[in-house]
Amino acid sequence: MSWILYLSLAIHLVVQTALGALYTKKPLVVTKYGTLQGKQMQVGKTHINVFLGVPFSRPPVGARRFAAPEPPEPWEGIRDATTYAPVCLQESWGQMASMYFNMHKTYKLLQFSEDCLYLNVYAPVREHGDPLLPVSTLPSTMHLPTRAPHCPTQALALLAQVMVWFPGGAFLVGSASAYDGSELAAREKVVVVPLQHRLGILGFLSTGDSQARGNWALLDQIAALRWVQKNIAAFGGDPGCVTLFGQSSGAMCISGLMTSPIAQGLFHRAISQSGTAVLKVFITPDPLKVAKKIAHLAGCSHNSTKILVDCLRARSGAEMMRVSKKMRFFHMNFQEDPQEIVWFMSPVVDGVVFLDNPVELLTRGQVAPVPYLLGVNSMEFSWVLPFIMKFPLNKHWMRKETITKLLWSASTLLNVTKEQLPLVVKEYLADIDDHDWKRLRNHVMDLAGDATFLYSTLQAARYHRNAGFPVYMYEFKHHAPSIIIKPRTDGADHGDEMHFIFGIVLSKGYSSRKEKALSLWMMKYWANFARTGNPNGKKLPYWPRYNRDEKYLQLDLTTRVDEKLKEEKMAFWMRLHQNEGPEKQGSSEGGSAGGSLRDCPTTQALGRLATDTSRTSVMPSPV
C-alpha cells in the first residue's frame, strides 16, 4: 500500500474515532494484510460492525491441497468484506444441514469452493461515554502487552473479549456463514468470530508419513487463531482473552486442541457443546488404510505414498467429492463389515498437532491450563443424527433381534465390541416387550446418545477436573422452537442449544417469553465464562464448579443444579470400558493440582459473583 493511501486511511480513522466512532455504514479496518471495508448493522440499541469473508490463509488449492495453510497474500487498496465467502467443498447433505442449523433470520443457499479459508467478524461498536466497549478503529499495529492465560477482566479497557466459533458437521460439512454472531456480539459486547476449515477428505487425508501427515482442518483452525492473535485488536477484540466455543465435531476439535502443543497460548478458555476428543472415533487409528481406499476409488492406487498423494492433488474438486460420495461417510452401511466402516474423516496422531492420542495426553494431565465449560443435550440422538445417518428408528426395525443387528452395524461409532453388544442390549432393552416399538425406539436413542456424547463428555470433564483446572458442566434440556422441519420432542436434540446461544429464538415470533429468557441467560453464561472463566454473574442461577461431587447445571425453562448425570447408566459404561478413563488417573478435589491457575486472582474472586445458591430457578420474562 502506498504511503499516501495509508496516510489518508489513518486520517480517516482518527477523524472517525474523534467524532464518536462510530456510526458509519461502511466501517474500515486495517489488518496486517490490508484494509477491509465491512458493513454496519443495528441490533436493539447496539451497532455492530460486520466483516465477512476475511481471508486467514492462502487458498488451499493445487500444490497447497493436503498441505499446511500459509498466511494470506497482502492486498492493495480496500477489500470488500460485506458478503460471505464460499464454503468449503463438502457432502451433498451439507446444504440441508446448513439450512437446519441456520442461525440467521433468513437463509441463503451456500456456494461451494476449495478456496474457502475465510472467517467472519461481528464486533460491537463503542458507544459515547462507555469505555468498556471496543473501538472499531483500533489499528492492528498497536503494541499489546503479553497476557496471562487467565486474562484478567478488562485489563485493556478498550478491548472486548473474543469468542471464536468452531462449526460442527461430522468433519464432513459446515461453514462460518451459517452462524450469525450479531445477537451475541450486541447483547454481550463480545467480538464473535465464526471460522471455517477444510472438510472431509480434503481436510483430513493422511498417509501416515511426511507425504500427507493429515490434520489439515485442525491446522486451518490454528491458522485462524494465529490470525486472531495478530489482527483482532483492529476490530476491538482482545487477543489476550480468546475463548473457543463449538458444537459437535467443532467441539471435539476444541477438546483436541487443548492437548496440542502448537495451539498453546492461542486461546484462554474453551467451550465444548456436544463433543470432546475422548470420543473413540475422534482419532483415525490406521490413516494409510483409509487413504488407500480413497485412492482406489479415485483411480490413484500406488505403493508409493508420494505418487498416491500427487495423483489425488491432480484430481478436480468435483472428482474428489464424487469419491467422497462413494465412501458413504456417516451413513449406515449394512453390507460392509462394521469393523471396516469409515464413519468420517477425522484427526490422526501426526507428531505435529498431536504428539499422542489426546486421551493418553488427558490421562497424563497434559492439557492447556484453561477453564473448560462443556455439556450435552438431553436427547442427542433424537432426530437430526438418525435422519442424516439413515439410522432406521421405525416400527419395522424396532424389534430386539433387528436392533441388535442395527447396533452392530454402528458398533465402531458406539465404541462397542461384538462381545459387549449383548450386555448393552440387556442394560437398555431387557425389560421392554418386543411389541412396544416406541419405547424400544426411545431406549435405542438413549443408548446411542449415552454411548457417544454423554459418556465421552463426562470422561473429558473428569480428566480436566483431575488436572486441577476449572470445569463447568451442563445438560441442555429444551427443544429449539425455531426448528419447524422435525417432529417436536420434549427434550433437546443435537444442536438445539445453538439457537439459544446465538440468540436466534429472540427474533422468532413463535418463541415464548420463557424461551427468550432462557436464550438471554445462556448468552450471559457463555459470555461471562469468556470474560472471567466462570459463567456465574448477577441475577443468574448459580452454576457450581464440576468437582468430585460432579454437580452440573440443567439448562431448561426451569433451571436447576443436579449432580452425577445419569449415574447408573454411566456406571454401566464405566464397567464396560473398565480399563479406560480418568479413574485410572490421579484426581484432586477440584483444586489447582499444580495448574497455573492456582494463584489466578480472577479465579479466586469468582466465588463472590454467585450469591444465589438456590437449586432451582424459573426463567423470568425477558426485559
609 C-beta neighbours (distance < 10 Å), count = 15
498 C-beta neighbours (distance < 10 Å), count = 25
More confident residue, 383 or 339: 339
Average pLDDT over residues 355-370: 96
Residue 489: its pLDDT value, please? Answer: 61
353 domain-assigned: no
DSSP-assigned letter for residue 96: H
C-alpha distances in Å from residue 468, one per residue of 21, 354, 593 = 43, 22, 5
**Is pLDDT of 12 > 80?**
no
Residue 157: its pLDDT value, please? Answer: 57
Domain that holds residue 435: 366-618
The C-alpha cell that represents 545 in the structure block: 464448579
**Is pLDDT of 133 > 60?**
no
258 domain-assigned: no
Cβ atoms 241, 530 nearer than 8 A? yes
**pLDDT tens profile 370-411:** 999 999 999 888 877 777 767 777 777 788 888 888 899 888
Pick the range with the lowest mean pLDDT from 152-166, 245-259, 423-437.
152-166
Whole-model pTM: value is 0.87
Residue 104: its pLDDT value, please? Answer: 56
Domain count, the chain: 2
Residue 153: its pLDDT value, please? Answer: 46
How high is the mean pLDDT of the chain?
Answer: 84
The C-alpha cell that represents 272 in the structure block: 465444548
435 domain-assigned: yes
Residues in the chain: 623
Question: What is the β-pairing status of strands 269-273 and 471-476?
Answer: unpaired
The residue type found at 281 is V
Phi (first) and psi of residue 553, to 5 degrees: -105, 125
Three-state DSSP class for 273?
strand
pLDDT band for position 587 (cuts 50, 70, 90): very low
Domain boundary residue, one of 61, 81, 101: 81
The C-alpha cell that represents 61 in the structure block: 488449492
The C-alpha cell that represents 195 in the structure block: 471460522
**pLDDT tens profile 442-456:** 899 899 999 999 999
**Is pLDDT of 148 > 50?**
no
Residue 92: its pLDDT value, please? Answer: 72
374 domain-assigned: yes
Pick the range with the lowest mean pLDDT from 326-335, 523-532, 577-586.
577-586
Average pLDDT over residues 4-26: 46
The C-alpha cell that represents 90 in the structure block: 463438502
Q: For residues 248 and 456, what is the distance between their CA atoms, to the nearest angstrom?
A: 12
Q: For residues 91 and 109, what is the distance between their CA atoms, to the nearest angstrom?
A: 14
**pLDDT tens profile 269-298:** 999 999 999 999 999 999 999 999 999 999
Q: ∠ CA(553), CA(164), CA(562), 5° rounding?
A: 5
Q: For residues 463 and 471, what is the distance between their CA atoms, to the nearest angstrom?
A: 10
Residue 151: its pLDDT value, please? Answer: 61
Cα–Cα nearest to 343, from 274, 282, 397, 424 = 282
More confident residue, 496 or 22: 496
Domain boundary residue, one of 55, 81, 107: 81
Cα–Cα nearest to 217, from 203, 233, 235, 236 = 203
CATH code for the domain of 518: 3.40.50.1820
| Percentage of the chain exceeding pLDDT 90 | 62
385 domain-assigned: yes
Residue 491: its pLDDT value, please? Answer: 84
More confident residue, 411 or 486: 411
292 C-beta neighbours (distance < 10 Å), count = 18
Hey, which residues are catalytic here? 248, 380, 494
**Is pLDDT of 13 > 70?**
no
Phi (first) and psi of residue 161, to 5 degrees: -65, 150
Question: What is the β-pairing status of strands 237-247 and 616-618?
Answer: unpaired
Average pLDDT over residues 319-345: 86
More confident residue, 247 or 488: 247
Decide: residue 344, CB within 10 A, 0-12 exposed, 13-18 middle, 19+ buried.
Answer: buried
Q: For residues 460 and 372, what is the distance between their CA atoms, to the nearest angstrom?
A: 10
Average pLDDT over residues 423-433: 91
Cβ atoms 222, 262 nearer than 8 A? yes
415 domain-assigned: yes
Q: For residues 321 and 323, what is the distance between their CA atoms, to the nearest angstrom?
A: 5
**Is pLDDT of 574 > 60?**
yes
**pLDDT tens profile 196-245:** 999 999 999 999 999 999 999 999 999 999 999 999 999 999 999 999 99
Residue 67: its pLDDT value, please? Answer: 97
Residue 553 forms beta bridges with which residues? Answer: 474, 561
More confident residue, 185 or 343: 185
33 C-beta neighbours (distance < 10 Å), count = 19
- In three-state form (DSSP H/G/I as H, E/B as E, the rest C), the secondary structure along 291-306 is HHHHHHHHCCCCCCHH
**Is pLDDT of 602 > 90?**
no
Domain boundary residue, one of 81, 99, 130: 81
Average pLDDT over residues 25-33: 93
127 domain-assigned: no
587 domain-assigned: yes
Q: For residues 401 and 398, what is the distance between their CA atoms, to the nearest angstrom?
A: 9
Residue 23: its pLDDT value, please? Answer: 56
More confident residue, 160 or 143: 160
